Amino acid sequence: MNCVSKLSLFFLVLLQISFTNLIIDSDLTFEEAVKGTTAPKEIIDSLLLLNVVYYSFDNKLHRGQLVVHKSVQKDITDVFELIRNERFPVAKSIPIVKYNWSDSASMANNNTSSFNYRKIAGTNRLSLHSYGLAVDINPFNNPVVYNDGRISPKGAKYKPKKIGTFTSACPIVQKFKELGWRWGGEFNSFKDYHHFDKILSN
């Protein structure tokens, strides 16, 4: 066994030890995580519940959960591996059922989430969150900034140099884009810094 392999094994063992001391942010079953949604059965059947591990702002390892489309399971797993390796802090990741399906309440609590069967604010079009094809990460650190100066969630501020905040140079943003996802920080009509989504090809 060469030196690199020994080193890799050493860190793997350390990681396994760390995982036994996880702080659990969410421990739902799939049925609990989608309870009360108005999504049709064909959408629910396309989803899965994914456990994700990350460092939070307390510098400790946490385990949360995301409800995502089955087709993006590997993407999200790969992104959260990078998030963990970069020690990019994630406040929490709890399925939005715990916020009574309120996007506003989840964002105000800086909660990372994915599936939420809802329309895009101010439109009659379903959001990609409705299909588990969008993820919002640290929304209070990475708010929506409208061209008229309004910011959502209320009280949030976008401070690019603050930890847990996304910029175009952030490795997590770059990883999402490599995997074919869009970043809301590059939208033209407004900036949705916490938002990532993927449009599936037919």
pTM for this predicted structure? 0.89
Q: Kindly report the average pLDDT of the chain as a whole number.
A: 92
Return d(Cα 158, Cα 144) in angstroms, integer. Answer: 9
| pLDDT greater than 70 at residue 36 | yes
**With contact defined as beta carbons under 8 Å apart, do 46 and 68 qualify?**
no
**pLDDT score recorded for residue 120:** 83
- CA within 13 Å, CB half, 46: 15
| pLDDT greater than 80 at residue 14 | no
Return d(Cα 29, Cα 11) in angstroms, integer. Answer: 30
Task: Tell me the pLDDT band of 122, cut-offs 50, 70 and 90.
Answer: confident
| pLDDT greater than 70 at residue 174 | yes
Torsion, Cα 36 109 132 151, to 10 degrees, reads: 120
**Mean of pLDDT values over 38-58:** 98
**pLDDT score recorded for residue 18:** 59
**pLDDT score recorded for residue 87:** 97
Torsion, Cα 61 62 65 68, to 10 degrees, reads: -30
| pLDDT greater than 60 at residue 16 | no
Return d(Cα 152, Cα 24) in angstroms, integer. Answer: 28
Which tops the pLDDT comparison, 46 or 12? 46
**pLDDT score recorded for residue 1:** 32
Return d(Cα 146, Cα 99) in angstroms, integer. Answer: 24
**With contact defined as beta carbons under 8 Å apart, do 116 and 127 qualify?**
yes
